Amino acid sequence: MSLRISIERLSIIIMSAIFLVGFSGIYIWNVMMMGVPIMEYGGIIDFHYTEPWKLTVLLMIILSSLITLILSATWPLLMDRPEDGVARLQCPRCGAPVGKDYMACPSCTLPLKQICSSCGERMPASYNACPRCGKTLRDPGSDLP
């Protein structure tokens, strides 16, 4: 199975990874510094501490970065896809799923494509002339066949 990654999704993955690594490092540094004495002129003047709410905010940023990273990396696998892997469109009349190469809707028989009698080009049923050879297929004022 081939996973194609769009530029937008790749940038989300990279930014989430940067946030995850960066804020994890800040959190680990703050936890490691807890209780470390602050020395001045050879004596302890205070102890370094981080307020719990700041550590909570850091943990929330780390958790949201991790969730974003996981979702952006696995989103195509979580999306609903047809079993055969062919993207499905919908019929404009009845909403039934149709393939991109279907000539007519299998549910309501609405013509979706037409074939030029001159050159054999396939085109949407709404075209009045063939884009390849220019042959007029029907009057522009007429309804769909």
Instruction: Kindly report, residue by residue over 1-13, the tens digit of the pLDDT.
Output: 445 667 777 888 8
Q: Measured between alpha carbons, how far is 24 from 26 in angstroms, rounded to an integer?
A: 5
pLDDT value for 82: 52
- Domain spans of the chain, in order of start: 7-78, 83-140
Instruction: Kindly report, residue by residue over 106-131, the tens digit of the pLDDT.
Output: 999 999 999 998 898 889 888 888 99
Most confident of 81-85, 125-129, 140-144: 125-129
pLDDT value for 108: 93
Model pTM greater than 0.85?
no
Helix (H) or strand (E) holding 111: none
Q: Measured between alpha carbons, how far is 125 from 123 in angstroms, rounded to an integer?
A: 6
